Amino acid sequence: MAYARGAPILADADYDALKAELRAKASVVTAEGPRCSIRTKKMYSDAQPDYLRMTALNVPAATLVLAVLFALDDLTGFEITSILELPPPWGIVALWGLLLPAVFVLATSLTNLVLRDNLVLRAPCPNCSAENITYFGDILTVPGNRGVNVTECTGCRADISFDFNKRIVVVDKTPEEKAEAIAALAAKKAASAAKKAAAAARKAAGGGGSA
């Protein structure tokens, strides 16, 4: 509002940095829908962390930890089960204060070992509003992106780019632009093939005349 009045209270760089920080924390203050930039002539929208899918990434590790826990319980003659069945409040304390936090910590540690620094972003496509999802982070020893993920919209098939730092998604090429590029490439290949065919015909005609 101060900027609109002609009396900005922050420099543009500071404002952009503050906005990026708030977006990284999924603040509702910076939440906006799909929109167009007059300056860049690009369509873009905000990307938000998908906490549900990020939590689901821990399911395989949690399943593994629970399987090991059940195996240990069986090998020890159900000693772990007997501890959980202690009279209140000791059984409840053992379950909620020891067992479940230990399972959570172990599952999270295993997930972070396989999927390091993982971040799942979701955003509506600025072109058709279809929801799109992308993953940032390492997978075992394979380094992942920390900047931009380029993907294709699941709805309209536009080329879109997820920005890790700015937490936005931008349309690189609309379906129409992609179709035009494909048509132009096909026309170029056809022209090149026709040129080669014409050159071959001239060469054959020249060879027949000399003979």
Both 134 and 105 in one domain: the answer is no
Q: How far is CA 182 from CA 103, 176, 188, 189, 202, in A?
A: 52, 10, 10, 11, 30
Query: Which residue range forms the structural domain that includes residue 127?
Result: 13-51+119-173
88 pLDDT exceeds 60? yes
Question: In terms of C-beta density within 10 A (0-12 exposed, 13-18 middle, 19 or more buried), how is residue 152 classed?
Answer: middle
Domain end (from 114, 139, 159): 114
User: Is 128's pLDDT higher than 70?
Assistant: yes
Do 97 and 127 lie in one domain? The reply is no
**Residue 192 within any structural domain of the chain:** no
pTM: 0.67
Query: Do 141 and 110 share a structural domain?
Result: no
Percent of the chain exceeding pLDDT 70 equals 95
**31 vs 82 pLDDT, higher one:** 82
Domain co-membership, 104 together with 71 = yes
Does residue 76 form part of some domain?
Answer: yes
143 shares its domain with 168: yes
Q: How far apart are CA 4 and CA 120, in angstroms?
A: 35
Shared domain for 98 and 133, answered yes or no, is no
Residue 3: Cβ within 10 Å count:
11
- Is the residue at 4 inside a domain? no
Q: Which residues contact 19 (CB under 8 A, 6 or more apart)?
A: 30
Q: Which residue has the higher pLDDT, 39 or 158?
A: 158
pLDDT digits (tens, 9 = 90+) for 129-174: 899 999 998 888 787 777 889 999 998 899 999 998 888 899 988 8
Instruction: Look at residue 18 and tell me if it is in a domain.
Output: yes
Q: How many domains does the chain have?
A: 2
**150 found inside a domain:** yes
Q: Are residues 106 and 29 in the same domain?
A: no
- Would you place residue 209 in the very low, low, confident or very high pLDDT band (cuts 50, 70, 90)? low
